[in-house]
Structures are given as structure tokens and as C-alpha cells.
A and B are shown apart, each in its own frame.
Chain A
Amino acid sequence: MNRRTALSLFASVAVAAVALFATAPSAHADALADITKRGTIRIAVPQDFPPFGSVGTDMKPVGYDVDTAALIAKKMGVKLELVPVTSANRIPFLQTNKVDLVISSLGKNPDREKVIDFSDAYAPFFNGVFAPADVKVASAADLSGKSVGVTRGAIEDLELSKIAPADATIKRYEDNNGTISAFLSGQVDAIATGNVVAAAILERNPPKRPEAKFLIKNSPCYIGMNKSEPALMAKINALLAESKKDGSLTAIAQKWLGAPLPADI
């Protein structure tokens, strides 16, 4: 092998390598095209966070997030591949391109917004004051003269202690079960808790049905995707808007949280 052929070989390898590296990102620049070409969408869902995602009696994942993932896949016309994740590894799974979307009760915060993008909200997640329909409460001031059960030390306890009027009685229980029992046995007029806990109460079909009266802290769930995927983002948001309009997303909310989607979603 003379020097010229060696040089040209090296050059062609270099060109090929550059071409490969240059095309590699562009192949992923449009995740939507990838998904369509693959015919499968890979979605990260929780497996240990009911009612958003847990393992059902037949060992298959079930929950709000799982149903939402199925809805998205159906509307996109592709096959669904569920990838179980934990709350700690859901964002790394997305960043390392092991999944296309994260539908895993993901809340928005500035740190996360630096590394991934968020769609529109698809599920309500909030702390608030809940009471039966006949208890007239619309704001913290209306709690005057009423008793509110809360789990001691929880975020609702700390926030409610600041905003409740002086003549409202806050009863602090050791854990969520104590708070729930106090509500169901009528020991308190209202409870401050998460909408997921309220959903767990509704699931038991109790004589007293907790309704959301006002919000203490609102942190709805969003679908997470990699940064700079405008096509995928537009598609997902369009599908979410369509699902909200045709009632399919509200049906999921009704099924898993026992309440329709709130107005802000």
C-alpha cells in the first residue's frame, strides 16, 4: 500500500465518520418521524404510584398515566410500548433516548425545564380543602368556625396553618389514615389533603363524598419530552386538546380520580 492510497483511505474513513456523526443527531432531530417510522411509541409510566400507575392483579400496569399513554398511542396510530420507571429515573430514561415520552405524574419546575420540555397539562395534581357538597366553603376565610382535619407536618398542614382564620379548628392526625377516618366518621367538617388521597376515599364509595372546595397548592402533571422536538410537541398538544374536547381524557380522570378534569386543564 503506497502513501497515496493510505491517505485516500484515511480521508474516506474520515469523511464517512463525519457524515455519520453529522447525520446521527439529525436522525433524532425529529422524534415524531422516528416514532412514525418505527410504528411504536415508547412511553415511561410509573409502576408504584397509584392511581397514576401501579401493577394490576393480572400483573399488567394500570392507572391514569397508563390509560393516557394508551390514548396517545391510539390517537397517533402507533403501537404502545410501556416502559416502567421510578420517579428518580424517569428523566434520565428520556435523556438517554430509552423512551419517547414520559407520562409519569411529572410536575413542572424550573430545574426540570432546563433539561426537558413539557406538553400541556394532562392530569390534575393539587392539595386542597375537601368537604361534602352540603358544606359551603369556597375560600380559606369560609373555614371560620369549622373544623378541618389534616395530616400533621404535611404541606397542607403548613400552608393551611398560615391561611386559615383564627377561629377555624385544625385537627392534626398522625397519618393520612387518621385524617381519612376523622373525615368519614364526621369528627371534622372538612379535610385538607391531596386530590389523590381524596380519590382514594371516593373509591370506597363512602356516605360522605369529599369534593374539592379550594386549592392550597396546584402542581398539575405534564407529559415530558426531549428538548427541541417542535413537531412532537405540536402533535402531543394537539392530541391532548382533542382528547379534552372529545371527553376521552375526562373519562380517564373520572375513572382514576373520581372527579372530572378541573377547568384549568
Chain B
Amino acid sequence: MGYQFEFGWIVEYLPLIVSGIATTIQLIAVGAVAGILLGIACAWVRALGPVWLRPPVVAYVELIRNTPFLIQLFFIFFGLPSLGVQMSELQAANLAMIVNLGAYSCEIVRAGIQATPRGQFEAGASLAMSPFETFRHVVLIPALQRIWPALSSQVVIVMLGSAVVSQIAAEDLTFAANYIQSRNFRAFETYIVATILYLALSILLRQALRGVGLLLFPRRAP
């Protein structure tokens, strides 16, 4: 065990590390908000929406849930330009994360909606609410409350999965770690730092999502 740890390089590369963290946070912030909204919309279609819209949504969900995230990312970044759809690596990374989280959160939210007792829909109808109002006020919030822990886990998974966007030269935290490692050849120390930073980001993200949960669902679960 004669390994000499050397962390002096952190000072030199601090701006790169900070900008990498900022990129990762930006990616997950956009990805989580837009992805969950997309998931709720898809869940509504699959559980309660018009029948003709269901097959395309089912196809989307199955396609994304049964293919690797890296392939989806490459498809968007390297594949779509052949059809004239050119986007920067950050746009491609954002889009890939939204599409990915959208599919997973669709299934999670749908589980919450389907666990809603039939009587709640009837209660909404008896108060002269339209089906949409019933969904919005009576069904969705308790459904989200029920599945919030599962959804939070999925968001953290997507945040950790965002490490692969460094493959398309998006300069996230993993890109920063790989870049530094290829310059200072201190793989052990570099990835120790990256690991600690990802761990901290995950813990912060979980706390943030818990806070959002407390705001959205002030009453305790039944």
C-alpha cells in the first residue's frame, strides 16, 4: 500500500469541476421538471385519455424503457442530423433525459392513478366537476403523493445516468473527471473526487425532492 495521494491538481482544475457540476445540475433540473410533466401527460393518456391516443404513447413508453439510454442519446446526437435535425450536445442531452424520464415516470404515475379508488372519480363527478377537473384536483395530487418516493428515486437514477452525456462531449461532471484524468493521470484521486461529488449531488437532489413533496402535499398521506 505505498500509494501516494496527490490532490494538488484540484486547485488548477477547480473552474472545470465547478462548471461540470453546474452542467449536471442544469441537465437534471430541466430533465426532471419537463420529464415528470411529460410523464404525467402520458400517464393521463394511458389511464384516462382518449383511446386513439393510447397506442402511440404505449409504443413510446415501451421503446424508451426497453433500449439503453446511451443508444437513445447517440440516436439523437449522431443519428438525427442525417434527417436535418441538428442540435448542440447540451440540447441533445436535455432532450434525451426528458424523453427517458418521461417514459419511466409515465409508468410510475400511472400506477398511482390506477391505485385511486373508483369512489374518488364518482365523488368528483357528483360535485359537477368535468373529467379533467376531477383528474386535476381529485385524482392527480393523491396519486403523485402515493408514488412520490418512487418518482424521486427515478429522478436520482436519471441524474446518475446523465454521466454518459460526456460521450457526446457535453461537459458535465463526468466529462470534467475524464478530462482531468487524461491530463494528470491521477485516475484514483480524480474518480474519488468525482464519486464524492456525485454522492453529494444525489443526497442534495433527494432532499430537494423531499422538500418539493412537502410543498405539493402538505397533508399527511392517509
Interface-side segment among A33-41, A106-114, A178-186: A178-186
B77 at the interface (CB under 8 A from A): yes
Interface size on B, residues (CB 8 A): 17
A187 CA to B178 CA in the complex, in Å? 21
Within 8 A of B (CB), among A149-196: 149, 152-153, 157-158, 171-174, 178, 181-182, 185-187
Cβ of A11 to closest chain B Cβ, rounded Å:
64
B195 at the interface (CB under 8 A from A): no
A153 CA to B179 CA in the complex, in Å? 7
B81 at the interface (CB under 8 A from A): yes
Q: A149-B169, A172-B179 are in contact. List 13 more A-B contacts (CB 8 A).
A: A152-B178, A153-B183, A173-B167, A174-B167, A178-B167, A178-B168, A182-B168, A182-B169, A185-B77, A185-B79, A187-B77, A187-B78, A187-B89
A157 CA to B179 CA in the complex, in Å? 10
Q: What is the predominant secondary structure among interface residues of chain B facing chain A?
A: helix
- Known A-B contacts A174-B166, A178-B167, A186-B86; the reply to A152 vs B182 at CB < 8 A is yes
Q: Which residue of A lies closest to B169 (CB)?
A: A171
Cβ of B17 to closest chain A Cβ, rounded Å:
16
Q: State whether A172 touches B169 (Cβ < 8 A).
A: yes
Q: Which residue of A lies closest to B74 (CB)?
A: A181
A128 CA to B182 CA in the complex, in Å? 20
* Option from A149, A171, A174, A186 in Cβ contact (under 8 Å) with B81: A186
A253 CA to B86 CA in the complex, in Å? 35
- Known A-B contacts A152-B178, A152-B179, A172-B175; the reply to A185 vs B82 at CB < 8 A is yes
Cβ of B122 to closest chain A Cβ, rounded Å:
54
Residues of A at under 8 Å CB distance from B? 149, 152-153, 157-158, 171-174, 178, 181-182, 185-187
Give the chain A neighbours of B78 by CB distance below 8 A. Answer: 181-182, 185, 187
Cβ of B89 to closest chain A Cβ, rounded Å:
7
Of the A-B pairs whose beta carbons lie under 8 Å apart in the complex, a sample of 6, sorted by A's number, is A153-B183, A172-B179, A173-B167, A182-B78, A186-B81, A187-B78
A182 CA to B79 CA in the complex, in Å? 10
Q: State whether A187 touches B167 (Cβ < 8 A).
A: no
Give the chain B neighbours of A187 by CB distance below 8 A. Answer: 77-78, 81, 86, 89, 168
- Which of B78, B81, B169, B183 gathers the greatest number of chain A CB atoms within 10 Å? B169
A201 CA to B182 CA in the complex, in Å? 25
The number of residue pairs between A and B whose CB atoms lie closer than 8 Å in the complex comes to 40
Give the chain A neighbours of B169 by CB distance below 8 A. Answer: 149, 171-173, 178, 182
Give the chain B neighbours of A182 by CB distance below 8 A. Answer: 78, 168-169
A172 CA to B180 CA in the complex, in Å? 12
A152 CA to B175 CA in the complex, in Å? 10
Q: Which residue of A lies closest to B175 (CB)?
A: A172
Bitwise, B79-91 to A at CB < 8 A (1) or not (0) is 1011000100100
Cβ of B106 to closest chain A Cβ, rounded Å:
29
Q: Which residue of A lies closest to B185 (CB)?
A: A153
Cβ of A178 to closest chain B Cβ, rounded Å:
6
Within 8 A of A (CB), among B104-126: none
Give the chain B neighbours of A158 by CB distance below 8 A. Answer: 183
A127 CA to B198 CA in the complex, in Å? 36
Give the chain A neighbours of B74 by CB distance below 8 A. Answer: 181
Cβ of A7 to closest chain B Cβ, rounded Å:
66
Give the chain A neighbours of B167 by CB distance below 8 A. Answer: 173-174, 178
| Interface pairs A-B: 8 shortest CB-CB | A153-B182, A171-B169, A185-B81, A181-B78, A185-B78, A186-B81, A174-B167, A152-B182
Give the chain B neighbours of A181 by CB distance below 8 A. Answer: 74, 78
A178 CA to B164 CA in the complex, in Å? 13
Within 8 A of A (CB), among B153-170: 166-169
A174 CA to B175 CA in the complex, in Å? 9
A178 CA to B168 CA in the complex, in Å? 7
A174 CA to B166 CA in the complex, in Å? 8
Cβ of B190 to closest chain A Cβ, rounded Å:
12
